[in-house]
Structure 1
């Protein structure tokens, strides 16, 4: 039986993929398959992956470079496990991860499992200080969606475990440069009813590598994040989550509005989603001082915006 399908998209990851695959080798479990999608790497990534062919139950899929969303979708389409785990090629997992998950799902089948994670910087692990789950246990679908909109459950797919039955035909949207993870997670959460939160950390997210998460601002990103927020608004029940949804829009878009292209951003059609959400939240809903300042500036702009 294949319990877990571990999907790893890899692009020019020759420096890190070995560490990632080694961390799977150290797991005290054999009920898994590893699917590495080599997304058109131009370095020695493929040869590094092949070093693990004999020691890991690994499937290597070579693909022309189409981006992380396509790579993850290819992994999903070729997966056979009951549950799906995503790992970015420049990150890794700690010993005991699969063993813990095996024990957790032995007596009950879950739709989604949410875990804490660690930050890795310069080879050292730092425990995450925010959005930490303090206790483990079952959590309702309504509470899960609420925590997602509040940012207490991250947009990322790699700190979660997904039941294949829940994913159905849900896939990542190719071509979206930002927000694709949030849209995917929201779609899955809308289909989930049996959820579990874990107060443990097994995933190490490396912040100082040149992985897929490092991004620069472009006009397309503002367009994409605006489009994603509109799509999420159509997925969730706004009669229940209206205020929390608009707070999510503010938190997700504020960095794209207050950017070096500030004037063109606030005059763009994409900014309408952001400024509309301001009407539904107050400064007391905003978390950080920096965002409170941005909120005040936004409200002032809203008063004079044509």
Structure 2
């Protein structure tokens, strides 16, 4: 396609078990003016063989790069994109047939540079939620971040790059941080600040399937502490722009600290991070009583604070129990 309206970018690395499901959902799209940019991040399995049959469609193309990470893949995909608008899809996820069409017309309806749909995180054998009477509306960047911090965004909306459509020109001076994990926390806030807000569609169009090889499911590594740095970067930029929602962003940063600590303590190599555990706990416990009585705090956070005050072993046990309930 010479001038597609939308470029759908799919970075992949050793994703052979999931690629067919993902790409079959792309083939089923009802929108008729888009290209699919596949970015092979140096796969060593048979991922390239899986994508070959899809390349028979002239609207599919593949870019090969040495293994450099998802951020490099997204940046290369954007540079290669012909469309005026950009949408991301992860190789182990699935989208509904009207995913692109829904986002495109949502963006046009509200005359904005970003539109966001509902999405859901599922285990492979779970059934998706059907949202009754989904609404459409616009949120300013300020209100989006306030709701993010206060855990009021619906349907797992957060800072994921996926489940959104972006006007490509937003990426002229904003790039995904190469060599870093949690590029979503480090980048999505910049795009929202530059665009001034996002249209919201509460229809569930994007399904994120949890698998043991995804970034957030691997055993804990030191690079995962980058989540805190990325969230702090977002915190500083948002509070610097909207100082009156500082309390909401405080809540968001506390979430980042507690989430990171929880994943350290349940990891089999937790003893390698004793210093980090102590430091993160110290940050969380600063202003403990004020956070404990915060009316906007979730039950999960309340239990987390109380058990953390009892000590890291109790906190570890409570989070393990929470993870079991989630399964």
- 1:267 to 2:273 alignment: no
2:10–2:89 contact (8 Å) kept in structure 1: yes
| Residue number in structure 2 paired with 1:188 | 191
CA contact (8 A) 1:115 1:197 kept: yes
List alignment gaps of at least 5 residues for structure 2.
312-327
Identify the residue that residue 83 of structure 2 maps to in structure 1. 81
Q: Cα offset for 1:257? A: 2.4
Q: 1:281 offset after TM fit, Å?
A: 3.7
Across the two proteins, how many residue pairs are aligned to each other? 296
The residue that corresponds to 1:39 in the other structure is 41
Query: TM-score, normalized by length of structure 1?
Result: 0.85
2:26 pairs, out of 24, 27, 36, with: 24
Structure-1 separation of matches of 2:52 and 2:80 = 19
Q: Deviations over 1:131-151 (max 9, x none)?
A: x99521122222122223334
Q: Given the alignment, which residue of 209, 218, 221 partners 1:206?
A: 209
* Cα deviations by residue, 1:17-44 (Å, 9 ceiling, x for unpaired): 1221111111122211111110111111
Question: Could you tell me which of 168, 171, 179 is aligned with 1:167?
Answer: 171
Question: Structure 1 residues 233 and 275 mapped into 2: Cα distance closer, same or farther (>3 Å)?
Answer: farther
* Contact 1:116 1:133 (C-alpha < 8 Å) held by counterparts: no
Note closer, same or farther for the CA distance 1:105–1:196 as it changes in structure 2 (3 Å cut): closer
Q: Which position in structure 1 is the counterpart of 2:145?
A: 145
Instruction: Tell whether the 8 Å contact from 1:82 to 1:163 is kept in structure 2 after alignment.
Output: yes
TM-score, normalised by the number of residues in structure 2 = 0.80
Counterpart position of 1:243: 247
Cα separation, partners in 2 of 1:254 and 1:212, compared to 1, 3 Å: closer
Structure 2 residue aligned with 1:14, among 16, 19, 23?
Answer: 16
Q: CA RMSD in A?
A: 2.8
Q: In the alignment, which residue of structure 2 is the partner of 1:283?
A: 293
Whole-Å Cα distance in 2 between the matches of residues 173 and 279 of structure 1? 36
Distance 1:231 1:205 in 2: 25
Change (3 A) 1:5 1:289: same
Q: CA deviation at 1:263?
A: 4.1
Contact map agreement 2:9 2:74 (CA 8 A) in 1: yes
Shift of 1:253: 1.5
Q: Is the 8 A contact 1:226 1:271 kept in 2?
A: no
Deviation by residue 1:86-145 (Cα, 9 ceiling, x = unmatched): 11101121112223234334455322111111344335532289xx99521122222122
Q: Which string of whole-angstrom CA distances, capped at 9 and with x for unpartnered residues, describes residues 53-81 of structure 1?
A: 12251120111111112111111222121
Distance 2:122 2:234 in 1: 30
- The CA distance in 2 between the partners of 1:294 and 1:187, in whole Å, is 30
Select which of 288, 297, 305 maps to 1:295: 305
CA distance in 1, matches of 2:257, 2:218: 14
TM-aligned CA distance change 1:124 to 1:187, over 3 Å: same
Change beyond 3 A, Cα 1:169–1:252 = same
Alpha-carbon distance between aligned partners in 2 of 1:289 and 1:166, rounded to the nearest angstrom? 37
Looking at structure 2, the residues matched to 31 and 45 of structure 1 have their Cα atoms a distance apart, in angstroms, of: 26
